[in-house]
Amino acid sequence: MQLQPLTETGAHQIEHWFDHPEVQMRLGGRFWIHRELRMISQHSSTAFRGAVVLRSHGWIGLDHAGTPVAFICGDVYDRWVRYHGEGPEGPILSDADPRLAMGLAYLVDPDRWRHGYGRSALQAVLTHPDAGDVQTFFCGIDADNHASRNCAESAGFTLPDLEPDHEGMLYYRRTRPS
């Protein structure tokens, strides 16, 4: 799979994917992709849930014919920490991993679900030069989203903690091969 950076034109090309009821339930409507584009274009380091966002990336995955079939994005963090909400003293954190980490989100064109495009998009990010310094990758997936969970597992991600977090998310992890 070839990854091309998300652009305004690309966002308009795939925004209809967000009309699908399952996608709307998981991510929201068409506004979601345009919000992601704005976030990717902001180049400032910001604190988020106990880690610092160093940069953000977004790509459209193209099949062999150059047709958009997937969208994948992620923030690169100074480290990974599991966030358990806010306490009186600030964020409640655990499971710190001090290596550069990337939290990924992905979407496959609903007309092309169950054809391996999600797995291909995840694998393409693992080898993409923009993520070359990242050591650990994470996918936060709704516990009841079995298709996405299977997709992450098929791309070599594992589930270190079987318990969902306070938002009902499971975090699949993959460490860069040495």
Looking at residue 65, its pLDDT comes to: 96
* 43 has pLDDT over 70: no
Q: What is the pTM of this model?
A: 0.88
pLDDT in tens, 126-157: 999 999 999 999 999 999 999 999 999 999 99
pLDDT in tens, 57-72: 999 999 999 999 999 9
Continuous segment of H or E residues that includes residue 10: helix 8-14
Quick check: 158 and 174 in contact, CB under 8 A? yes
Q: Which two tokens stand for residue 177?
A: 């091969």
Q: Which DSSP category does 111 fall into?
A: G
Q: Which residue has the higher pLDDT, 10 or 165?
A: 10
* 177 has pLDDT over 70: no
- The residue type of 111 is D
Average pLDDT over residues 154-167: 91
Superfamily of domain 2-175 in the CATH hierarchy: Gcn5-related N-acetyltransferase (GNAT) (3.40.630.30)
Per-domain boundaries in the chain: 2-175
Looking at residue 94, its pLDDT comes to: 73
Geometric angle at alpha carbon 127, from 61 and 98, rounded to 5°: 115
Distance of CA 95 to the CA centre of its chain: 19
